[in-house]
Amino acid sequence: MAGISASIFGCQGTTLGPDEADFFAQSQPWGFILFARNIETPEQVYRLTQQLRSALGRDAPVLIDQEGGRVQRLRAPHWREWVPALDEVTGRSLTDAARLLYLRGALIGAELRAVGIDTNCAPLADVARDETHPVLLNRLYGRDPETVSQIARAMADGLLAAGVLPVLKHLPGYGLGQVDSHAELPRVTARRAELDAVDFAAFKPLADLPLGMTAHIVYDAIEDGLPATMSKTLMDLVRSEIGFKGLMMTDDLSMGALPGPIGTRAARAIAAGCDLILHCNGERAEMEAVVENAGHFEGQGLERANAALKLRDAPLALDIAALQAEFEALHSKAS
């Protein structure tokens, strides 16, 4: 992986033009992420994923946000529509809820693999509260760390069974966020004891997952002013206290929560301990600034990247019809 930028980039449209392909060939991001602007039909998405990999000359990971519910980029009529996760699990036994999310992960994973996407930005281990911002609340899996951890594990296992890498988010926890980090920086005033017992506790049983994503959020009890994405103190906490061992990417660096120009954001996130910069909007000048400031993969980041990529190559022989039938029966079961 020598010479590969510590970055993941979005592209602008539904096909890759020569100029954009040349930029990616020269900048060599680690991978790509797709959004609704990149999606039309299964055939078109498959062609695009092949174009992206061809531009780099390697089997680069292609990511997407396909949680189900409001956050899913592949939608009807070509792909299945899913109810929000919190609506799916509320009122069910933990056994049924976990099985539903395993099946959801496996079925989503199969749809993704069919169009050349091998990495999904899910599961979420943020713990829901009454005050959780609506941008996040119904995407979550429960209101206590044990429930959240078990259901998140099931979702991750389903994705892995389909040969799709899960991305655990949003480390070290966004459940107490009361504003939308797409627009402004959330600040959490909870005491450290509550964070340890609830928010951080939900992530600890998931610390072996291959990839993770940061939260753009400030914890006043730990480090006043700096969002986790840019905080060495919090990135060290993710590694040492939560014990997360996987490849760590930022949440989208172009979100409104973060201070400073894009290049400065990238440099600060890498200095804090993030392995990868995620930049999603496809704007060339911003991507150039990321490349200039993110550096290349080396050391432990390179080792984590290699370990993660090995997991996408061995999907199980899934009986999709049987999984769909089981999901429908369990989904219809009275809660």
Beta strands in the chain (DSSP E): 5-10, 29-34, 62-64, 66-68, 71-72, 119-120, 165-171, 187-188, 211-214, 218-219, 247-249, 277-279
pTM of the predicted structure, to 2 decimals: 0.95
Q: Which of residues 3 and 63 earns the better pLDDT score?
A: 63
Nearest-CA neighbor of 38 among 68, 9, 67?
9
Q: What's the length of the chain?
A: 335
Q: Quote the CA–CA distance of 258 and 62 in Å, as a whole number.
A: 25
Give me the catalytic one of 126, 199, 251, 252. Answer: 251
Is position 296 annotated as part of the catalytic site?
no
* pLDDT tens figures, 100-127: 999 999 999 999 999 999 999 999 999 9
* pLDDT tens figures, 13-23: 999 999 999 99
Task: Tell me the CATH number for domain 5-332.
Answer: 3.20.20.300
Task: Give CB contacts under 8 A, 24+ apart, made by 81-85.
Answer: 82/108, 84/138, 84/139, 85/124, 85/138, 85/139, 85/140, 85/141
* Residue given tokens 């804090």 in the structure block: 272
* pLDDT tens figures, 145-199: 999 999 999 999 999 999 999 999 999 999 998 876 676 788 899 999 999 999 9
Is position 251 annotated as part of the catalytic site?
yes
When the pLDDT of each residue in the chain is averaged and rounded to a whole number, the result is 94
Q: Quote the CA–CA distance of 131 and 111 in Å, as a whole number.
A: 34
Give me the catalytic one of 22, 87, 182, 236. Answer: 182
Q: Which range, 41-45, 131-135, 317-321, has the best average confidence (pLDDT)?
A: 41-45
pLDDT for res 313: 75
pLDDT for res 183: 66
Q: Quote the CA–CA distance of 268 and 262 in Å, as a whole number.
A: 10
pLDDT for res 335: 62
Identify the helix (H) or strand (E) that includes residue 177. Answer: none
